[in-house]
Structure 1
Amino acid sequence: MTDTTMADFVHVEVPQEKTATAELNLSGSNSGAQTLETSGLGFLKLHPFIRDTVVDKIYGCMIGSALGDTIGLYTEFLPKHACETIYKERKFTLVNPVTEWYSDTHRNRFEPCAWTDDTDQALLILLSYLQNHTSENLLGRIPQDFAERLQIWIEQGLRALDRPPCGIGALVGGVVSHKDYLKDPVDMATQRWIKTARHVAPNGSLMRTHPIGVFCVGLSEEAAWKVAADIGRTTHVDPRCVVSCCISVGLIRGLLRGEIQTEEDLDKAIERAYDWVLSQPGLMNPGLDSELTEYEIKRHLERKEFEKHVYAKAYEELKLDSQREMGYVYKCIGSAILMLRYGIRGLKKSPVPSKTLFENLVTDLIMEGGDSDTNGAAAGALLGALMGYGNLPAHWADGLAHREWLQSKIERLTKILGIVQGSVGELKDEAPDGGKPLMTKDELEKRDHDMLYSILARDKERKEKEERERKKGHAKGLTGWFKK
């Protein structure tokens, strides 16, 4: 490691006990303990501060994504001009007094100060890794296990936290609800994609992919890409979705390892992921249709369209609030990469990171509107991996619902990876059913009924508040008229 690379590692506080050397088990094999050198994490020994910094970045990635998702809900599906009108001060806080979101039937479905379906699905991947970490061929097991968890989630929600499923994407819902989905998830996803004339490329796999970059930190870049592709393709097989997931995972892995510090490093990592996907026939031609021409196969990774998004110089170029294309995966990865660029530039200005940099950059992004919670989740993971947990805004992190539970899972992950010392036993809430009986049909109907009642009650409260404010404004207007 050069002196330049070492500069990325600084001592920071992390939200748990001080780290220490431990044995590693990245693959899940029970064949014996690994050393730092054989695990791919030998770089942790290069400097006393590196281990603490990597742990801080892991927390930053996971919590940063959840925060981007949570703050992004404030402006999700709103056009940019509406965001600027509704949130004129451009300030958000998750601690008292909590910033009230724009009340409508969409936002009123969600728990205040909590993440959305984006982070829920990322947690399905994380929980799969945690529960199966002692399994042989762990990384080969996760795609099918994730698919099984996802099928439970679309009906039951995240059972570990009793969170109902909200915001199920059309593609995910259509693929996962098929009666034969679990027989071959990738085949079901491929069939669904082909029925769209091989056209749809939504952001649903990208929004959840960041945990893979964390637990693949000790693997080669290509191995991390393969895991990202295998898990992503359980629902999204379009090559644009696959390359976006590979880019995100590769960047997170590189940021944690201190290998990505400059925009030049960033660009090289993007191109390596692109070239790898382009070289994989099974990824470029889902289903390996022999009747497709070379043009029909390669058109999905056409360079002009790719570069337009991943090398965008401003959010305006991405048109994130476009009603027709706001869920397009290239818009999501493009905005995430652009925010990471802004973060790298911000850190370059000062050796001491600004405590407001993460907040300002995420706010700028979500104020563009569109699919802002997903954009925030994907971008928050990258920026969090760059800046670390210690540089997340306290008035966001401290107010995040279920934060302590999420932190406990991240701590377990760092121990399983061997970055932090400590034993890791089994926990019931990491099972697909959250360690609880699955809800019966009657219980599901009651949950949905109660949720609908809550939405209607909040909507009624919103309308009554608007009416009071309208009358108040009208009264002030009359007073002013009589004074004249």
Structure 2
Amino acid sequence: MTTAGLEFLSLHPFVRQGVVDRVRGAIVGGALGDAIGLYTEFLTGEASRAAYPEGQFRLTSPVTELVNDGHRNKFTKGSWTDDTDHALLIILSYLHHNGHQPAASDLALRLRFWCEQGLRCLDRMPMGLGQTVGRVVFDADFLADPTATAYRHWAKGNYKAAPNGSLMRTAPLGVLCIDKTAEETFATAAEFSAITHADPRCVVSCCLVSGLVRGILRGEVMDENDVDEFIEQSLEWAEAWVGRRRGESAGVEPDLDREEFCKNVRARGFEELRLDDMRVMGYVYKALGAGVLVLRLGMRCHPLRARYIPSAAQETRAGAGSANLFERLISTLILQGGDADTNACVAASLLGALLGYSNLPPHWRDGMTHSAWLLEKCDVLCDVVRIFGGDPGYKGSSDPDTRVDGGKGVLTKEELDARDKAFMDVYMARAQEKVRSESGKGKGWMGKVFGSI
């Protein structure tokens, strides 16, 4: 069993400062990975490097332009995608209930609302909805029993689907469970995964990432040996969880394949993960493997020499460029292509927890849309989780942002139609801009028509 409670925060004057910095780093870092990953999402590695030959990105002026294509035209540069939206649903739910035990049933309600209305507190549309989440969430039985609904859809698909949609939202659970044992964190992560993604590969991935975030914040995960221990702990816990869930269906639901799991979480380089394999790029072990590899690389370049000294203080002593390290590792990752925003969201949450908010690159951090709002939510989360100490001064149930509708009410059909029309106007304008741009390159009428698809 691992330790629990928050007594460790009083072990040294630097501890609270360091943990707050790492909480901010995990949450804001994940959003940054998501926003930067959009630049190459669904591209091959070769196409990614051709589109951004310098291999560098900026969210502050001069902002790096997104490739003008049918996917990226749906988004605004500098913004995160559905990955961060769904992670925020967990945070906002927890805040709204004033820090009571996280409830997967409330996340289910918020997911259904998001799929229909978007993230209302920030007026964000529900862009990037995955197939698995869409099928499960819009099932008529979802709100009555989300876990059983997700399992039924998984079984209907012959127990094969294991996409990354629950992994992309799981990192905040490591913050919410900072005062819990690793085993309690695994249980929470499994519960939150299973409402949409029932496959054990999705569950064990969520257990590991949530557990690593928690372990880094608590000073229990400092090097690769600690990472390997958590890998084994999460796998053993998930295997037992599968056995308990299987019950009468023994021999039907597949076991976890240890060899496949370990192959991905012990990858020595990005080339082993083949992240841009278009047939399986959304496979949960791709994002998990990328995240663990980036964390390992970060630990090799930025070893934690003291358990509770803030990362920024260690950097000052060592003269290391941790902001450059975050940028270099995440940029290298997204230039592999594939499901780059999810891969980078998971990896940057882990790396951000390791390095801290103070070591995120300013030309990313300061240019991301809604960055100030997100940082404020990180700080009230630290208050509610009691990292600051004492009783929380913030009451989430009184914050309109934390309501399911963001305090702005439910959009009517007419309002939704008007929003969709405004979106399509912008989308088509960007597509036409591409046609005009390519028409000057001598592509002829076929290039004008098909080049924008």
Instruction: Please give the TM-score of this superposition, normalised by the length of structure 1.
Output: 0.85
Amino acid in the other structure paired with 2:232: E
User: Are residue 129 (structure 1) and residue 94 (structure 2) matched?
Assistant: yes
Could you list the per-position Cα deviations for residues 42-85 of structure 1 after superposition, in whole angstroms to 9, with x for gaps in the alignment?
A: 11111111110000000000000000000000000000100111
Match of 2:235 in 1: 274
User: Are residue 236 (structure 1) and residue 197 (structure 2) matched?
Assistant: yes
Amino acid in the other structure paired with 2:184: A
Query: In 1, are the aligned partners of 2:99 and 2:385 still within 8 Å (CA)?
Result: no
Alpha-carbon distance, 1:387 to partner: 0.3
Aligned residues with identical type, % of pairs: 47
User: Are residue 424 (structure 1) and residue 379 (structure 2) matched?
Assistant: no
User: Are residue 52 (structure 1) and residue 37 (structure 2) matched?
Assistant: no
Match of 1:368 in 2: 336
Match of 1:94 in 2: 59
Q: Which structure 1 residue ranges, 5 or more long, are not aligned?
A: 1-37, 472-484
Alpha-carbon distance, 1:453 to partner: 1.7
User: Are residue 448 (structure 1) and residue 398 (structure 2) matched?
Assistant: no
Match of 1:14 in 2: none
**Residue correspondence of structure 1 range 254-333 to structure 2 within 5 A:** 254-281=215-242, 285=246, 288=247, 290-293=248-251, 296-299=252-255, 301-333=256-288
Instruction: Return the alpha-carbon distance in structure 2 between the equivalents of residues 459 and 252 of structure 1.
Output: 40
* 1:437 alignment partner, one of 403, 406, 409: 409
Tell me, what secondary structure is at the counterpart of 2:440?
A: helix
Instruction: Return the alpha-carbon distance in structure 2 between the equivalents of residues 336 and 152 of structure 1.
Output: 29
Amino acid in the other structure paired with 2:157: T
**Residue correspondence of structure 1 range 84-233 to structure 2 within 5 A:** 84-133=49-98, 135=100, 138-139=101-102, 142-233=103-194
Amino acid in the other structure paired with 1:265: D
Instruction: Return the alpha-carbon distance in structure 1 between the equivalents of residues 363 and 442 of structure 2.
Output: 32
Query: In 2, are the aligned partners of 1:277 and 1:284 still within 8 Å (CA)?
Result: no
Instruction: Return the alpha-carbon distance in structure 1 between the equivalents of residues 245 and 63 of structure 2.
Output: 46
Residues 340, 231 of structure 1: alpha-carbon distance in 2 compared, 3 angstrom cutoff: same
Residues 464, 234 of structure 1: alpha-carbon distance in 2 compared, 3 angstrom cutoff: same
Amino acid in the other structure paired with 1:117: D
Query: In 1, are the aligned partners of 2:291 and 2:346 still within 8 Å (CA)?
Result: yes
Match of 2:292 in 1: 337
Amino acid in the other structure paired with 1:335: A
Could you list the per-position Cα deviations for residues 309-336 of structure 1 after superposition, in whole angstroms to 9, with x for gaps in the alignment?
A: 1111011011000111000000110000
Instruction: Please give the TM-score of this superposition, normalised by the length of structure 2.
Output: 0.91
Match of 2:34 in 1: 69
Amino acid in the other structure paired with 1:457: A
Match of 1:35 in 2: none
**Residue correspondence of structure 1 range 341-356 to structure 2 within 5 A:** 341-348=296-303, 351-354=318-321, 355-356=323-324
Alpha-carbon distance, 1:297 to partner: 4.0
Amino acid in the other structure paired with 1:119: T
* 1:468 alignment partner, one of 436, 440, 449: 440
Amino acid in the other structure paired with 2:386: G
Q: Which structure 2 residue ranges, 5 or more long, are not aligned?
A: 305-314, 444-453
Amino acid in the other structure paired with 1:325: V
Amino acid in the other structure paired with 1:378: V
Instruction: Return the alpha-carbon distance in structure 2 between the equivalents of residues 168 and 51 of structure 1.
Output: 37
The number of equivalent residue pairs is 424
Query: In 2, are the aligned partners of 1:242 and 1:283 still within 8 Å (CA)?
Result: no
Query: In 1, are the aligned partners of 2:159 and 2:253 still within 8 Å (CA)?
Result: no
Query: In 2, are the aligned partners of 1:147 and 1:185 still within 8 Å (CA)?
Result: yes
Match of 1:21 in 2: none
User: Are residue 413 (structure 1) and residue 381 (structure 2) matched?
Assistant: yes
Alpha-carbon distance, 1:104 to partner: 0.8
Amino acid in the other structure paired with 1:231: F
Residues 237, 352 of structure 1: alpha-carbon distance in 2 compared, 3 angstrom cutoff: farther
Instruction: Return the alpha-carbon distance in structure 1 between the equivalents of residues 122 and 419 of structure 2.
Output: 14
Could you list the per-position Cα deviations for residues 104-149 of structure 1 after superposition, in whole angstroms to 9, with x for gaps in the alignment?
A: 11111112201000000000000000001265xx33xx20111000
Instruction: Return the alpha-carbon distance in structure 2 between the equivalents of residues 441 and 333 of structure 1.
Output: 39
User: Are residue 459 (structure 1) and residue 436 (structure 2) matched?
Assistant: no
Query: In 2, are the aligned partners of 1:152 and 1:432 still within 8 Å (CA)?
Result: yes
Residues 222, 242 of structure 1: alpha-carbon distance in 2 compared, 3 angstrom cutoff: same
Match of 1:478 in 2: none
Query: In 2, are the aligned partners of 1:278 and 1:284 still within 8 Å (CA)?
Result: no
Alpha-carbon distance, 1:463 to partner: 2.1
Query: In 2, are the aligned partners of 1:284 and 1:298 still within 8 Å (CA)?
Result: no
Residues 169, 404 of structure 1: alpha-carbon distance in 2 compared, 3 angstrom cutoff: same
Query: In 2, are the aligned partners of 1:353 and 1:387 still within 8 Å (CA)?
Result: no
Instruction: Return the alpha-carbon distance in structure 2 between the equivalents of residues 192 and 95 of structure 1.
Output: 43
Query: In 2, are the aligned partners of 1:239 and 1:283 still within 8 Å (CA)?
Result: no
Alpha-carbon distance, 1:282 to partner: 5.8
Which has the larger Rg? 1
Instruction: Return the alpha-carbon distance in structure 2 between the equivalents of residues 283 and 111 of structure 1.
Output: 44
Residues 348, 420 of structure 1: alpha-carbon distance in 2 compared, 3 angstrom cutoff: closer
Instruction: Return the alpha-carbon distance in structure 2 between the equivalents of residues 437 and 57 of structure 1.
Output: 34
Tell me, what secondary structure is at the counterpart of 1:280?
A: helix
Alpha-carbon distance, 1:451 to partner: 1.1
Could you list the per-position Cα deviations for residues 74-99 of structure 1 after superposition, in whole angstroms to 9, with x for gaps in the alignment?
A: 00000010011110000100001100
Alpha-carbon distance, 1:223 to partner: 0.7
Alpha-carbon distance, 1:357 to partner: 0.2
Instruction: Return the alpha-carbon distance in structure 1 between the equivalents of residues 76 and 407 of structure 2.
Output: 22
Instruction: Return the alpha-carbon distance in structure 1 between the equivalents of residues 183 and 303 of structure 2.
Output: 29
User: Are residue 389 (structure 1) and residue 357 (structure 2) matched?
Assistant: yes
Amino acid in the other structure paired with 2:126: P
Residues 291, 180 of structure 1: alpha-carbon distance in 2 compared, 3 angstrom cutoff: closer
Instruction: Return the alpha-carbon distance in structure 2 between the equivalents of residues 435 and 87 of structure 1.
Output: 40
**Residue correspondence of structure 1 range 16-31 to structure 2 within 5 A:** none
Query: In 1, are the aligned partners of 2:25 and 2:358 still within 8 Å (CA)?
Result: yes
Residues 154, 467 of structure 1: alpha-carbon distance in 2 compared, 3 angstrom cutoff: same
Tell me, what secondary structure is at the counterpart of 2:303?
A: helix
Residues 434, 283 of structure 1: alpha-carbon distance in 2 compared, 3 angstrom cutoff: farther
Instruction: Return the alpha-carbon distance in structure 1 between the equivalents of residues 224 and 274 of structure 2.
Output: 23
Tell me, what secondary structure is at the counterpart of 2:186?
A: helix
Instruction: Return the alpha-carbon distance in structure 1 between the equivalents of residues 12 and 441 of structure 2.
Output: 59
Query: In 1, are the aligned partners of 2:34 and 2:81 still within 8 Å (CA)?
Result: yes
